[in-house]
Structure 1
Amino acid sequence: MAASPPIAELSDRARDIFRRVVDGYIASGLPVGSKTLAQAGLNLSPASIRGVLAQLEAMGLLAAPHTSAGRLPTERGLRLFVDGMMQALEPSAEERAQIEARAGGIGPVEEALAATTATLSGLSACAGLVMVPKREAVLRSLAFVPLGGAQALAVLVAEDGAVENRVVDLPAGVPPGALTEAGNYMTATLGGLTLAEARARVARELAAGRATLDAAARALVARGIAVWSEDGARRPVLIVRGQGRLLDDAEAADLDRVRELLDDLDGKQEIAALLDSASAGDATRIFIGAENKLFALSGSSVIARPFRGQDGRVVGVVGVIGPTRLNYARVVPMVDFTAATLARRIG
């Protein structure tokens, strides 16, 4: 996409008309015509307004979907508006309170992230999303539950209350008592350690013969730690909430575009890559339509901002995905506030 012209290239009259077209389009999703503009107190004749609209169209900032219709901003025009004309609207006290309440909830971090993302979706009328690196669990307890046959369920409870299960294959001839013995040993010995620390300690204990376990329980301990440590600890956690809002708010003519967007949202690897690109730097990133290849067909916009921990490192990215006509002035500050709130919660 060609770069937008500098805002200084527009006359005061052209800027005023352009802003009114963008505001009208964002509010209604419909093209804005010269008659509507003339009735809005511009103190210009419809002919003069049409002349300015034609100039803005020639600059690639506006487009006419039909020969007799009004104008709507192009993606290039929206970029000019966002970069040079937008006046941010800070979240209200009530909106800030909702976001802070969800982010500060008691329980596992991922539950707080999901709740905060759902709240951001509801407030912005977009799909909300957040991505954080896979956090290495700190063990509280680990137990083995027999499943029958040659398998058991390894149940890990983390210090933050998160519970995860993994199916493990049992060594041949393992007696039921070995499951209890292995779980008790791991809880007593490994509680308070990360998985990496637990794996290293188990290896040392078993190698030195300090683990007071029989052979079957030792095999279980080694296998239980291995299945956890090898479980994609570096994969990012991506949470998307509120996809249905995109359909609820879509005009009939937009349904194909929204269905395309929902298909894009199913491609979580691509979404994760997009958010990862937004993690560079401190500023909010705004991708409008074809500026990002992933959303070129669906004509969607992404607003995303990284948030950092106390050590200054990026610990996640939060944002929204919606139509290009989303209310940037309202949503951008809302994403900024959510990022700052999450930084306090998990940083």
Structure 2
Amino acid sequence: MQSVIELSDRARDIFRLVVEGYLETGQPIGSRTLSRSGLNLSAASIRNVMADLEDAGLLAAPHTSAGRMPTDRGLRLFVDGIMQAAEPSPEERAAIARGLEEGGRVETAVAAATAALSGLSHCAGLVLVPPREMVLRQVGFMPLSDNQALAVLVGADGSLENRVLDLAPGTSPTTLSQASNFLTERLVGLTLGEARARLETELADGRAGVDRAARDLVARGIAMWSEDGARRPVLIVRGQARLIDPAAAADLDRVRQLLDELEGKEEIARVLDSAREGRSTRIFIGSENTLFALSGSSVIAAPYRGPDGRVVGVVGVIGPTRLNYARVVPMVDFTAQALSRLMR
């Protein structure tokens, strides 16, 4: 990919003005507009440079008579090499801090801060929080067929989760009942992690008091829930309505596509999760990620850390590629730092 240092001063200035103009207005920028911006160049000279930038894959023209707008590749070059970030204002910092001070559960405060971030950035706010550990109230197995059962888990908060579990040949209804009774008697009030640790100890030293078939069913059931819960992130989305603004009216298909993507939280969560490895804010622009290729969306995300310094979640925003990156990137970074302080 072409770097900023490979552009001449003239090309760099024109490229910057095109990108900044497009990010501000959402419209292609023409040579006549640029000729009035203090470049001291004729419209013809500007058109020649813009054509060169188009040939380099940094600008594109929506149709022949229009001005130019940045491509995803051009936006990446701008964000990485030209953009000058603007720190959040005291008012913006205070708005995010107020969300975190709402009290109650950490998840509630995190959601409130994400809603504030959404309002300030005019995007949808996203936060990936540590998986919640369900406290068990009841666990059981219900037969579905000769070789499958429905494993039912009821949480202390009234939540209900079901999983289909394959049965070993010859598993009887008595075995299912025995396993259900054992789990409910021994594990009420424990989290899944605590339940798994207790079961491993009791099953290992023979203190379980159930037959081998029930022991196998119990072990596989808890292992399945624990594994599934550990890899299922909790994604909070706030401010989807902000994606439907007057500027989006001419491009409703893109907005609908983006809203559909937000419904598929697992895919969005995977994108955010990939930002865990970074030390600072990451920016995913449009077609750089196949998930957003159709909607033309960008995600700005930053990890936040727990008391031990390890990454526990990711916060960010999603919106059209025409974002005010210089303003929003520092805002996301500030929110991530604030969340890290909350977790301590």
TM-score, length of structure 2 as denominator length = 0.77
- Report the secondary structure of 1:233's partner residue: helix
Match of 2:60 among 32, 41, 63: 63
Kindly indicate whether the alpha-carbon contact (under 8 Å) linking 1:102 and 1:112 is maintained by their aligned counterparts in 2: yes
Match of 2:303 among 300, 306, 320: 306
Match of 2:270 among 258, 265, 273: 273
Match of 1:339 among 317, 336, 341: 336
The yes-or-no answer on 1:239 pairing with 2:206 is: no
What is the Cα deviation at residue 329 of structure 1?
Answer: 0.4
Match of 1:91 among 88, 92, 97: 88
Identity %: 64
Structure 2 unaligned spans of 5+: 139-152, 163-183, 209-217
What is the Cα deviation at residue 199 of structure 1?
Answer: 6.6
> After superposition, what is the alpha-carbon deviation per residue over 1:136-189, rounded to whole angstroms, capped at 9, x for unaligned?
36x7x979xxxxxxxxx9663xxxxxx454499xxxxxxxxxxxxx99x999xx
Kindly indicate whether the alpha-carbon contact (under 8 Å) linking 2:118 and 2:124 is maintained by their aligned counterparts in 1: yes
Q: How does 1:252-267 map to 2 (within 5 A)?
A: 252-267=249-264
What is the Cα deviation at residue 109 of structure 1?
Answer: 1.7
Look up the equivalent residue of 1:259 and give its one-letter code. R
d(CA) in 2 for partners of 1:44, 1:69: 19
The yes-or-no answer on 1:107 pairing with 2:104 is: yes
Kindly indicate whether the alpha-carbon contact (under 8 Å) linking 1:38 and 1:44 is maintained by their aligned counterparts in 2: yes
d(CA) in 1 for partners of 2:161, 2:17: 60
Q: CA separation of 1:246/1:167 partners in 2, compared to 1, >3 Å: closer, same or farther?
A: closer
Match of 1:218 in 2: none
> After superposition, what is the alpha-carbon deviation per residue over 1:230-269, rounded to whole angstroms, capped at 9, x for unaligned?
4753221111111111112443322111111111111111
Q: CA separation of 1:199/1:6 partners in 2, compared to 1, >3 Å: closer, same or farther?
A: closer
**Structure 1 residue runs of 4 or more that deviate by more than 3 Å after TM superposition:** 163-168, 193-204, 229-233
Kindly indicate whether the alpha-carbon contact (under 8 Å) linking 1:250 and 1:258 is maintained by their aligned counterparts in 2: no
> After superposition, what is the alpha-carbon deviation per residue over 1:255-290, rounded to whole angstroms, capped at 9, x for unaligned?
111111111111111111111111112121111111
> After superposition, what is the alpha-carbon deviation per residue over 1:91-149, rounded to whole angstroms, capped at 9, x for unaligned?
11111111112123211122112111111111111111011221336x7x979xxxxxx
- Report the secondary structure of 1:16's partner residue: helix
Kindly indicate whether the alpha-carbon contact (under 8 Å) linking 1:104 and 1:345 is maintained by their aligned counterparts in 2: no
Kindly indicate whether the alpha-carbon contact (under 8 Å) linking 2:128 and 2:269 is maintained by their aligned counterparts in 1: yes
What is the root-mean-square deviation of aligned Cα atoms in Å?
A: 3.4
The yes-or-no answer on 1:9 pairing with 2:9 is: no
- Report the secondary structure of 2:327's partner residue: helix
Deviates further, 309-318 or 88-97: 309-318
Q: CA separation of 1:87/1:256 partners in 2, compared to 1, >3 Å: closer, same or farther?
A: same
TM-score, length of structure 1 as denominator length = 0.76
d(CA) in 2 for partners of 1:50, 1:197: 67
d(CA) in 2 for partners of 1:80, 1:135: 39
- Report the secondary structure of 2:317's partner residue: strand
